[in-house]
Amino acid sequence: MLINLSFNLGMILFFMGIFSFVFNRKHLLSMLLSLEYIVLSLFLLLFIYLNMMNFENYFSMMFLVFSVCEGALGLSILVSMIRTHGNDYFQSFNILQC
């Protein structure tokens, strides 16, 4: 019963993260924060699933390593975008420029 409740909570958190990612498209930083929120909710779901099936938690450590790498790549893109364009608005970013 408690595992089912926490699984439903994880799904609600995941869908809230997707809605915030879809509706906050103005700044790159807010999109990166909502992506990290989605990754944390997926980690919660993965942790609940692995504990429910009595598996080892080594895969969750690998998931955290890849999510940290994803966060570092997102921040490096944010820094390079701010250095070249001066802000993180998507309206001022032209994809066709080299």
Q: Among residues of the chain, what percentage have pLDDT more than 90?
A: 26
Of 39 and 26, more confident: 39
Average pLDDT over residues 9-24: 89
pLDDT of residue 92: 67
Distances in Å between the Cα of 23 and the Cα atoms of 26, 38, 75 are 9, 14, 20
Phi, psi of 53 (to 5 degrees): -95, 5
Per-domain residue ranges for the chain? 2-85
pTM of the model: 0.82
CATH of 2-85, one of 1.10.3720.10, 3.40.50.720, 1.10.287.3510, 1.10.760.10: 1.10.287.3510
What tens digit of pLDDT does each residue of 53-77 get? 888 888 888 999 999 999 999 889 8
Query: Which pLDDT score, from 0 to 100, does residue 84 have?
Result: 81
User: In 1-98, which residue ranges form alpha helices assigned H by DSSP?
Assistant: 2-23, 28-52, 58-85
Task: State residue 95's pLDDT score.
Answer: 61
pLDDT of res. 8: 86
